[in-house]
Amino acid sequence: MNPLTIVLIVIFVVLIIALVALYIFGKKAEKKQVAQREQMEAAAQVVSMLIIDKKKMKLKESGLPASVIESTPKYLRRTKIPVVKAKIGPRIMTLMCENKVFEVLPVKKEIKAVVSGLYITEIKSVRGGSIEPPQKKKGFFKR
């Protein structure tokens, strides 16, 4: 047999094994995600809060508790996450939120949001306004 065909067959077999492994890993990750989503929905509660500030920051710079930083995987510690500083009752807290919520979250306004632990999952209402994403600036050529 030609050495080139042997090499191609070996590469093809390795690719098939890699695809099967990724499929199995993806199914396990999907099951984990569904279980985590159910836990978050069970612990969710509606809270009234005043949004002070919102930023995308690295996890270490965000001011979240050390237990939260330690429990995140190492490969996610360097990524930027949406962080919100909010006044809930008499306390000022640092919370994380979903990206779709972060985009429509109004600053310096009082809102009612669904919170699960330190995670904002949904906005219910905004006092004195509506829940709409801010308008992006038009480019020079789009005007």
| 3-22 pLDDT per residue, tens | 899 999 999 999 999 999 99
Instruction: Provide long-range contacts, Cβ within 8 A and 24+ apart, for 98-102.
Output: 102/54, 102/56
**Domain coordinates in residue numbering, the chain:** 1-42, 44-126
Instruction: Determine the CATH number of domain 44-126.
Output: 2.40.50.140
Please tell me which residue, 55 or 64, carries the higher pLDDT value: 55
How far apart CA 81 and CA 65 sit, in angstroms, is 14
Which range, of 68-77, 97-106, 124-133, averages the lowest pLDDT?
124-133
Cβ proximity of 104 and 82 under 8 Å? no
| pLDDT surpassing 80 at residue 1 | no
| pLDDT of amino acid 23 | 97
pLDDT per residue as tens digits for the range 104-132 = 888 888 999 999 888 898 888 777 666 66
How far apart CA 130 and CA 35 sit, in angstroms, is 32
